[in-house]
Amino acid sequence: MADVAPIRLIVNADDFGMTMGVNRAVAELHDAGALTSTTLMAGGAAFDNAVRIARERPALGVGCHVVLVDGTPTSQASNGSSLLARNGTFTSSMADFTLAVAARYTRPEHIEQEVAAQIAKLQDAGVNVTHVDTHKHTHLLPSVARAVMRGARRMGVERIRNPFEPAWCSALSPAPLARRAPFRFLHRFKSFFDQLLASEGMRSTTASLGLIATGSLDAAVLRRILNAAPPGEYELVCHPGHNDTELQQIRTKLRASREVEREALLAIIPHLAPTQFERISFAGLPLQYNESAGAFAEGT
């Protein structure tokens, strides 16, 4: 029987830079072999500490966690932007953001501009930005996805999170219907996202894992997901952290669950057999298809 190629797995922690406790969890998990990648919030309160942690860990892939809701703008040209609420910040409501995008009030060029500014802040701090994803997965929306890709490409970033989770993975999550329903509705845009990857010259994984399970990703759920995964390239999306006093003061629904996810990752990821799972960061995703070799050229 021919050998089966291992699954290529990116383990990415969102919200790097949100708090010192989140940053500490990212450092601990990477040092333990439980985390290969993270995405940094340009406007995070613990941004400088996150940059220092990243510099001390060159093997840790660091992307930009683009914030378009529930945050403040980075672009100096954002005054009067269609992204902003009356108080000069982004809306805190994903529903309001979605309605503004659907009504074409939110202009794609403003999204592109803000994406470029957030990536630039990371690059100016010395971070080699490996990829982009979005806070609350706003690039599930087609026009947002296109603008995010174009903003990223403007800054030389050519990899992006695939915000769609396969049905087999969603079925393994204990998450309530209220969380499942929006993802199920937005899954209709998957083919459009795939087309955008090709037309905008971007690269992504086969799919993401753990999106629906956010907030309920314990060791048992994580083990079921990884055991069920067919061959492919996947990103495991997670939100580990320490539920400390600083986190209690941040607007987030994910508090105690960050501790649960951190413990689950520590219990399982370092012990995955390398013959079954090749752990990589987004920098390890190939970018260009080499027809003569019949494979993608390796990323750098």
- For residue range 38-66, what is the model confidence (pLDDT) as tens digits? 999 999 999 999 999 999 999 999 999 99
- Residue 113 placed within a domain: no
pLDDT of residue 288: 55
Are 157 and 64 within 8 A, CB to CB? yes
pLDDT for 181 equals: 86
pLDDT reported for residue 297: 44
Residue 65 token pair: 């966690």
Residue 221 to residue 72: CA distance in whole angstroms:
34
Alpha helix (H) ranges present in the chain? Answer: 20-31, 47-55, 94-102, 108-124, 142-154, 167-170, 177-186, 190-200, 219-228, 245-248, 256-268
Residue pair 35/29 in contact (Cβ under 8 Å)? The answer is: yes
Kindly state whether residue 208 falls inside one of the protein's structural domains: yes
Q: Is residue 89 part of a domain?
A: no
Q: What is the pLDDT along the chain (300 residues), one digit of tens a residue?
A: 456 788 999 999 999 999 999 999 999 999 999 999 999 999 999 999 999 999 999 999 999 999 999 999 998 765 568 998 888 889 988 999 999 999 999 999 999 999 999 999 999 999 999 999 999 999 999 999 999 999 999 999 999 999 999 999 999 998 877 788 888 888 899 999 999 999 999 999 999 999 999 999 999 999 999 999 999 999 999 999 998 888 888 888 878 889 999 999 999 999 999 999 999 999 999 875 444 433 444 443
Give the tens place of pLDDT for each residue, 149-182.
999 999 999 999 999 999 999 999 988 777 888 8
Q: Is residue 211 part of a domain?
A: yes
Number of domains in the chain: 1
Q: What is the pLDDT of residue 77?
A: 66
- 3-state class (DSSP) for residue 216: coil
pLDDT score recorded for residue 140: 96
Sign of CA dihedral 291, 294, 299, 300: negative
Whether residue 245 lies inside any domain: the answer is yes
Structure confidence at residue 80 (pLDDT): 60
Q: Give the CATH number of the domain where residue 290 resides.
A: 3.20.20.370
Report yes or no: 78 and 84 within 8 Å, Cβ to Cβ. yes
Domain membership flag for residue 263: yes
Q: Of 156, 157, 117, nearest to 133 (Cα)? A: 157
Question: Whole domain around residue 286: which residue ranges?
Answer: 7-60+130-138+158-296
Q: Which residues contact 142 (CB under 8 A, 6 or more apart)?
A: 189, 192, 193, 196
Do residues 90 and 71 lie in contact, with contact meaning Cβ atoms separated by under 8 Å? yes
Residue 111 located in a structural domain? no
